[in-house]
Amino acid sequence: MKQNKEPLILAIVVFFTIVTYYLVEPFAHSQMHKHVESEGFEYKDLPELTKKGDATRGKDLVMGAGGCTGCHAITKAGMPAPMDAVTAAASYGVNPPDLSNAGSVYSAKFLASLIKNPAHALMVEHKFDASKGQMHPMVPFYGAGGDMDQEVADMVAYLESIAPKGEELTPAMAYETACGRCHANHYEKWTQIGTKPTFKKKQDGLAFDTKVLDYQDSLKAYMGKLPPDLSIYIRSRGEHYIKTFVENPQNYLKGTAMPRVGVNAEAADKVIEYLEDSGDTKRHEREAVGMNVMIYIIIFAIFAILWKKQVWRDLH
Amino acid sequence: MAHFTKATSVKDWFDQRLAIDKVEKVMMSEYWIPKNINFLWAMGMVLVVTFTLLLVSGIFLLMYYQPNVATAFDSVNYTIMREVDFGWLWRHVHGVAASVVFLIIYIHMFTGIYYGSYKKGREMIWISGMLLFVAFSAEAFSGYMLPWGQMSYWAGMVITNLFAGGSLHADGLVEWIRGDYVPAQAFLNRFFMLHVLLIPLAIMGLIGLHFAALRIPHVNNQDGEEIDFDAESKKYLAGDKAGSKVMRFANDFMAKDMMVVGIYLIFFFYLVFFHYDFAMDPVNFDPADGLKTPAHIYPEWYFLWSYEILRPFSTNIGLIAFAFAQVIFVLLPFLDRSPNTTPASRRGLFKIWFWAMLVDMIVLTAMGKLPPEGIFSTIGLVAALTFIGLWIVLPFITKMEKKA
Ligand code: HEM
């Protein structure tokens, strides 16, 4: 009998397949797309919080001299929004987010920087240059008469004290606070002004849609373009891109209007989970079914090999 | 009229009317296959299985897909992926199979080239195979339009533009193909029709032709040996199974086919569940937007080599080179002037030609995806010229080949 060449042939086929795959996938993508490493949402360019905050004093500032509730709702503390989302967007360009969850969504040092200088923390100074009279719609906090760093730390401590802890912060809460005012997600029925309810009367549905359109007009004027619907961005951009983009949008799109949102690492994971729920909903089912199918197919292959052996016994 | 007797069994009843015994013999048990062939000869069966997977998964997708520019994207990405039970499974099977089928087609083609299986009576097998390749290409391209994502739209734009023929400026032809000035509703509708009806029908007809073309010359073997099928099959039927050089298609070779299919399916389903990304371009998960050109427009991997033959040249020369690349493989049986039906390893210069062609096409594939800048466009140009050059020298080097 001649020497069996099949292992060598198989090795050649596999080799060329892998080379081709490597060239058109990992290699081509490494050449086409800029690779940005995550910094772990540490915001190294922003100063650390040096003072230890006091939540009780912080509450008074947030509700009073800090002026936050003049623009923001804090429903958790019984503070409703000063105006509805559409009106707010007409005045500020965008609806200032409800601060109930801010303490656990945003990084503490980011919040402190944001309160003092929003345009800087949000990395939108290219759009809002105070020296040219371009004011960011969120007014900076200029101090309430005491030690400003202490006051800011107090407000951050207060926001953290009312915010949900750990698992209490759901993926939807993280998304709605951090991204929801700009990005719709129609697979989850999320619009920039909230989750779209199911209406009994058609008129009510149309009235709601009209409000969304009005809101989007203001947002478009403010941002220069309508921020995209993120329903299946998890498939078009992938987790790594979204995370590093959120960490610093300027990394990828120089001069973009999307602010650095300032979420902390845990909240970023929650946002990703939300995007996976909307755009890769069946991932758990896929993994479970995948394991079962693999086991079944391996058994099939074993039987096929045994059958071949049996049939071919007489052929040699 | 033929003479019919009272049937002795259900099988006999059918046999009198449909000659199923005869058919079974012709197609299965007395369809003789040489013994000296390796697993590469199972690729045809792997292709049949993959096409069946495409057909079945396609039928399921078709129950929910909506060929409308306003709803197509969400009917796939929302309805099929989220709402329909196991819709995601059918879609991933369909997408992965559409990509893997080309890998297998290429292996199948290069197997044919290596062993010279397109010569001396096997020309029609080769030609019908190439027609299948063209039909599958059209099927994959039309299918790619259906989700109406960014790549659907822009690949549709770029590829249909080729029909303008460069300086011929046949813009009327492009509009006729699109049914509009730009890809829009009429475009989606007709590619939907092509994808789910006309091209699948053509594919099924061509598979029939391909199989019919195989029946008379029989499949080739890995040693380039001329086998006397009549004598060898008599030996087999007389009971000398081990001494005969041939075996039955069923169950003998089919058992091996199934073994290869089994192993292939492990690989296939691994891709479906755990590594499907390569087959579903991320860019196509952004809805079509005629105002936003994607940063990089490239076809699916299996079209990259011919795309790269188009790209490094000026429009007109590129189109000619592209047209050349599209048809030249069909002519292989006539451009290869050597009478030898032997493996490339024993054919002197042709051996070099074979490996050079394989490597060149892989290089073209890689460059076709990369942005055409700097060193990549130089490599792409050299590879495209090499491709053309290889075909030009083929008749000469095969003419010089000595009779084996
Ligand atoms: C007759 C059989 C087939 C039917 C009924 C069918 C049906 C469909 C339908 C309804 C879609 C749209 C849903 C989707 O995008 O997933 C689709 C997509 C597609 N089909 Fe088919 N198909 C068939 C065969 C094939 C074959 C033979 C190929 C390729 C060799 C192919 C390649 C594709 C591709 C590349 C897509 C886009 C997939 C994606 O982006 O997810 N199809 N097909």
Residue A93 · residue A223 · CB < 8 Å? yes
A139-165: b (≥16 Cβ within 10 Å) or e: ebbeebeeeebbbbbbbbbbbbebbbe
Nearest in space to B109 (alpha carbons), one of B323, B375, B319, B328: B328
Whether B333 lines ligand 1, by a CB cut-off of 6 Å, is no
Q: Whose CA is nearest to atom 12 of ligand 1?
A: B146
Report the chain B residue with the minimal C-alpha distance to residue A14.
Answer: B107
pLDDT-derived band of residue B2, with 50, 70 and 90 as boundaries?
confident
Residue A195 pairs in a beta bridge with: A190
Q: Whose CA is nearest to atom 39 of ligand 1?
A: B95
Residue A92 · residue A137 · CB < 8 Å? yes
Question: Which chain A residues have a beta carbon less than 8 Å from that of B269?
Answer: 290, 293-294, 297
Q: Distance between CA A72 and CA A23 in Å, rounded?
A: 51
- The pLDDT of residue A316 is 84
In the DSSP assignment, the letter for residue A260 is: P
For range B354-368, the mean pLDDT: 97
Question: Of the residues B51, B84, B136, B146, which should be mutated to test ligand 1's pocket, given the most ligand atoms within 8 Å of the CB?
Answer: B146
Domains and CATH numbers, chain B: 27-282 (1.20.810.10), 300-404 (no CATH)
Is B242's CB within 8 Å of A298's CB?
Answer: no
Instruction: Pull the structure tokens for residue B48.
Output: 């049949």
Per the model's pLDDT, the better-predicted residue between B401 and B115 turns out to be B115
**SS3 of A207-239:** HHHHHHHHHHHHHHHHHCCCCCCCCCHHHHCHH
Q: Does A289 touch chain B (CB under 8 A)?
A: yes
Is A237's CB within 8 Å of B282's CB?
Answer: yes
Q: Which residues of chain A have pLDDT under 50?
A: 1
Å from A8 to nearest chain B CA?
11
Give the sign of the dihedral formed by CA B126, CA B131, CA B135, CA B137: positive
pLDDT-derived band of residue B404, with 50, 70 and 90 as boundaries?
low
Comparing CB atoms, the residue among B92, B242, B369 nearest residue A315 is: B242
- Residue B287 φ/ψ, nearest 5 degrees: -60, 150
For range B295-320, the mean pLDDT: 92
- The pLDDT of residue B385 is 97
Taking only residues 215 to 254 of chain A, the set having a beta carbon closer than 8 angstroms to any beta carbon of chain B reads: 231-233, 235-238
Total Cβ atoms within 10 A of residue B359 = 14
C-alpha distances (whole Å) from B75 to each of A229, A233, B54, B83, B287 are: 16, 17, 19, 10, 12
- The pLDDT of residue A4 is 87
Nearest in space to B222 (alpha carbons), one of B44, B47, B341: B341
Q: What is the mean pLDDT of chain B?
A: 95
Q: Distance between CA A193 and CA A208 in Å, rounded?
A: 9
Comparing CB atoms, the residue among A9, A28, A316 nearest residue B369 is: A28
Taking only residues 1 to 30 of chain A, the set having a beta carbon closer than 8 angstroms to any beta carbon of chain B reads: 5-6, 9-10, 13, 16-17, 19-21, 23-25, 27-28
Counting from 1 in the atom list of ligand 1, the atom nearest the Cα of B55 is: 2
In the DSSP assignment, the letter for residue B199 is: H
Instruction: Pull the structure tokens for residue A192.
Output: 């920039």
Strand B246-248, strand B32-34: pairing: antiparallel
C-alpha torsion B332→B334→B338→B339, nearest 10? 110
- The pLDDT of residue B192 is 98
- The pLDDT of residue A291 is 98
Whether B312 lines ligand 1, by a CB cut-off of 6 Å, is no
Q: Distance between CA B150 and CA B285 in Å, rounded?
A: 7
Whether B95 lines ligand 1, by a CB cut-off of 6 Å, is yes
| pLDDT for residue B364 is more than 90 | yes
Å from B262 to nearest chain A CA?
4
pTM: 0.93
- Which uninterrupted H or E stretch holds A191? strand A190-191
Å from A214 to nearest chain B CA?
22
Question: Of the residues B54, B62, B74, B94, which should be mutated to test ligand 1's pocket, given the most ligand atoms within 8 Å of the CB?
Answer: B94
Q: Whose CA is nearest to atom 23 of ligand 1?
A: B58
In DSSP notation, A22-48 reads HIIIIIHHHHHS------TT--TTSPP
Q: Whose CA is nearest to atom 41 of ligand 1?
A: B95
- The pLDDT of residue A1 is 46
| pLDDT for residue B281 is more than 70 | yes
Report the chain B residue with the minimal C-alpha distance to residue A301.
Answer: B262
Question: Which chain B residues have a beta carbon less than 8 Å from that of A286?
Answer: 88-89, 92, 273
| pLDDT for residue B261 is more than 90 | yes
> For the segment A171-199, what is each residue's pLDDT rounded down to a tens digit?
999 999 999 999 999 999 999 999 999 99
Tell me whether the omega of the peptide bond preceding residue B220 falls within 30 degrees of 0, making it cis.
Answer: no
Q: Tell me the CA–centroid distance for residue B284 and ligand 1, in Å.
A: 14
Question: Looking at this protein, which amino acid is placed at residue A125?
Answer: E
Instruction: Pull the structure tokens for residue B42.
Output: 């199972």
The position carrying tokens 């004598």 is B231
pLDDT-derived band of residue B401, with 50, 70 and 90 as boundaries?
confident
For range B95-100, the mean pLDDT: 98
- The pLDDT of residue B138 is 96
Whether B65 lines ligand 1, by a CB cut-off of 6 Å, is yes
Q: Distance between CA B178 and CA A268 in Å, rounded?
A: 44
Comparing CB atoms, the residue among B40, B283, B366 nearest residue A24 is: B366
Strand A194-195, strand B32-34: pairing: unpaired
Q: Is A94 helix (H, G, I), strand (E, B) or coil?
A: coil
Residue A1 pairs in a beta bridge with: none
Instruction: Pull the structure tokens for residue B140.
Output: 């994959």
Question: Helix count (H) and strand count (E) of chain A?
Answer: 14, 2
Residue B46 · residue B261 · CB < 8 Å? yes
Comparing CB atoms, the residue among B86, B242, B282 nearest residue A238 is: B282
For range B37-60, the mean pLDDT: 98
| pLDDT for residue B110 is more than 60 | yes
Question: Which chain B residues have a beta carbon less than 8 Å from that of A32?
Answer: 295-296, 369-371
Residue B284 · residue B151 · CB < 8 Å? yes
Question: Which chain B residues have a beta carbon less than 8 Å from that of A240?
Answer: none
Is B278's CB within 8 Å of A25's CB?
Answer: yes
ipTM computed for the complex: 0.95
> For the segment B201-222, what is each residue's pLDDT rounded down to a tens digit?
999 999 999 999 999 999 999 9
